[in-house]
């Protein structure tokens, strides 16, 4: 990871002790994004000691990019498989993005979106639906709408939507 540019919308969080980096790994045979505190030690969504400020994040050695731990009012919605191969946003996801009206960016795969916002606490919830969609050669995933309030990290790509 080269020195990432922090999206202007997330600049107020630069000094927040909520940042991690992530690496692409296979877990249970599936590709996933794993949070790390440094090059060797995994970060935990329940252990703030494994988090950093944005400027203190490690670079290189397989690091794919920065991630942000949700909590303390920082919440997020994850919209999986909401963009088609041409980058067209599906109607169901467009309605969510419009209603939330907050900083939204493309996921690392380019097939999903993440929405960051501040709000009161609540319960996290996930709902998968529809038939599996091929997102990469031999890899399928169902569409999903997930709302997280804490104990979760979101990758940060800086590819604003």
pLDDT at 2: 55
Q: Is residue 86 part of a domain?
A: yes
The DSSP-derived string for the chain is ---PPPPGGGGGGTTSTTEEEEEEEEETTEEEEEEESSSSSBPBTTBGGG-B-GGG---STT--EEEEE-BTTEEEEEEET-B-TT-PBPHHHHHHHHHH-S-EEE-TTSS-EEEEEE------EEEEEEEEEEEETTEEEEEEEEEESSS-EEE----B-
Which residues neighbour 91 within 8 Å (Cβ) at sequence distance 6 or greater?
A: none
Is residue 63 located within the same domain as residue 89? no
Domain boundaries, position 65: 12-69
Is residue 144 located within the same domain as residue 105? yes
8-36 pLDDT per residue, tens? 999 999 999 999 999 999 989 888 999 99
pLDDT at 3: 55
Q: Is residue 82 part of a domain?
A: yes
d(CA 98, CA 90): 12
Mean pLDDT on 151-158: 97
What does the angle CA 92 – CA 96 – CA 97 come to, to the nearest 5 degrees? 115
Q: Is residue 64 part of a domain?
A: yes
Q: Is residue 3 part of a domain?
A: no
Is residue 81 located within the same domain as residue 151? yes
Inform me whether the pLDDT recorded for 41 exceeds 80.
yes
pTM assigned to the model: 0.89
């Amino acid at each position: 990871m080269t020195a990432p540019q922090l999206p202007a919308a997330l600049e107020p969080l630069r000094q927040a002790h909520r940042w991690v980096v992530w690496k692409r790994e296979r877990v249970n045979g599936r590709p996933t994004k794993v949070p790390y505190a440094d090059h060797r030690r995994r970060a935990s969504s329940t252990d703030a000691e494994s988090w950093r400020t944005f400027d203190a994040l490690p670079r290189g050695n397989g690091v794919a990019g920065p991630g942000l731990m949700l909590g303390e009012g920082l919440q997020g919605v994850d919209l999986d498989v909401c963009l088609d191969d041409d980058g067209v946003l599906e109607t169901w996801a467009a309605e969510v993005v419009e209603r939330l009206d907050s900083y939204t960016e493309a996921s690392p795969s380019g097939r999903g979106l993440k929405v960051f916002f501040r709000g009161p606490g609540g319960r996290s919830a996930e709902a998968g639906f529809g038939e599996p969609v091929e997102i990469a050669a031999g890899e399928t995933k169902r569409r999903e709408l997930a709302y997280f309030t804490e104990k979760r990290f979101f990758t940060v790509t800086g590819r604003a939507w």
